């Protein structure tokens, strides 16, 4: 894998926070901080995996970057331009052309009433790209994601889950994006077809230089696909680094808990209950610490951890 570090990131998020209001007067009771002061960057031709358990804030972050949710604070910069400031009300068509999202559910992301060809042609029309032989362009798109052009005449329900997800990716590619936000794109697919979709995403990085945020709870797929991994816990990114380095030497107790939960045939037994209990106690202590700061673990592989500040 080739991590692009020498160039200015195509996408950078700084201090991004998102609070969902709760009940009561002015929504103050039970408000939820889904994101807290999140920073991340993605270079051209780089895949960054965002991992964590359900409810950790992964999808909320992706939706904020996609402008489907409005952040409470922070910046989202595309090529150095803060789009939250320059496009206050909603994302422009130009932004949506450059930043596209692949959703988790391939069954619900395609209109069941229209054939695949009509779904793809509609994408060209919505983004002002309907000139020329649109049908031929749609055929080239489906072939670029490993499908036969005959699928253009099929309805979504006639395709497998893997084929539907490839069509969803083809629809994203129609606008030639710079960044793809892939939110759990393989979690609803059979294990036998997941690797094909992961290889397709890797090919888009290698052949087209597309930057990608890959949201997942699956550490194995993150290691296989991503150049870097960021670990999210309770709305904060708590550890980050080059994929194999981070997983080989997890430093945050939450990351160690996630890695320990991955099935390992070499381990020969289930994760030790006592070890997991101690890790959860350590997670609680780190999370409640009065001050947290980044600590460099391995500078050569950009490996860092958000840890309690040490007393002088």
Residue 95 included in any domain = yes
Closest of 142, 182, 191 to residue 166, by C-alpha: 142
pTM for the model stands at 0.90
Q: What is the domain extent for residue 277?
A: 11-308
> Could you say which DSSP state residue 150 is in?
G
Residue 1 included in any domain = no
Residue 2 included in any domain = no
CA–CA separation, 244 and 21 (whole Å): 38
204-239: per-residue pLDDT in tens? 999 999 999 999 999 999 999 999 999 999 999 999
Distances (CA, A) of 42 to 12, 64, 134, 210, 236: 7, 15, 32, 10, 17
The number of folded domains in the chain is 1
CA–CA separation, 178 and 205 (whole Å): 10
CA–CA separation, 102 and 74 (whole Å): 24
Residue 112 included in any domain = yes
163-173: per-residue pLDDT in tens? 999 999 999 99
Residue 184 included in any domain = yes
Residue 198 included in any domain = yes
Strand ranges inside the chain, DSSP E: 11-20, 32-42, 47-51, 73-78, 81-82, 99-102, 179-183, 211-216, 228-233, 236-242, 292-298, 303-308
Residue 4 included in any domain = no
**Residue 27: pLDDT over 60:** no
CATH number (domain holding residue 48): 3.40.50.300
Residue 24 included in any domain = yes
């Amino acid at each position: 894998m080739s991590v692009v570090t020498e160039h200015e990131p195509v996408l950078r998020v700084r201090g991004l926070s998102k609070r969902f209001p709760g009940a009561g007067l002015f929504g103050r009771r039970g408000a939820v901080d889904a994101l807290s002061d999140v920073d991340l960057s993605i270079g051209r031709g780089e895949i960054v995996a965002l991992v964590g358990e359900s409810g950790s804030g992964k999808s909320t972050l992706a939706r904020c970057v996609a402008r489907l949710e409005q952040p409470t604070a922070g910046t989202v910069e595309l090529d150095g331009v803060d789009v939250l400031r320059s496009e206050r009300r909603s994302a422009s068509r130009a932004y949506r052309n450059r930043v596209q999202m692949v959703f988790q559910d391939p069954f619900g992301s395609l209109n069941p009433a229209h054939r695949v060809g009509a779904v793809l042609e509609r994408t060209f029309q919505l983004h002002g790209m309907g000139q020329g032989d649109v049908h031929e362009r749609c055929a080239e798109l489906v072939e670029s994601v490993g499908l036969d052009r005959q699928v253009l005449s099929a309805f979504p329900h006639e395709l497998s889950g893997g084929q539907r997800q490839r069509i969803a990716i083809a629809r994203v590619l129609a606008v030639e994006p710079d960044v793809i936000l892939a939110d759990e794109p393989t979690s609803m697919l059979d294990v036998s077809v997941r690797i094909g979709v992961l290889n397709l995403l890797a090919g888009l990085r290698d052949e087209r230089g597309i930057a990608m945020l890959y949201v997942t709870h699956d550490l194995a797929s993150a290691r296989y696909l991503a150049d870097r991994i960021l670990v999210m816990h309770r709305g904060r990114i708590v550890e980050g680094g080059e994929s194999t380095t981070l997983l080989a030497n997890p430093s945050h107790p939450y990351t160690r808990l996630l890695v320990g939960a991955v099935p390992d045939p070499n381990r020969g037994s289930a994760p030790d209950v006592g070890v997991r209990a101690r890790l959860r106690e350590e997670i609680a202590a780190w999370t409640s610490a009065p001050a947290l700061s980044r600590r460099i673990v391995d500078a050569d592989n950009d490996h860092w951890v958000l840890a309690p500040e040490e007393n002088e």
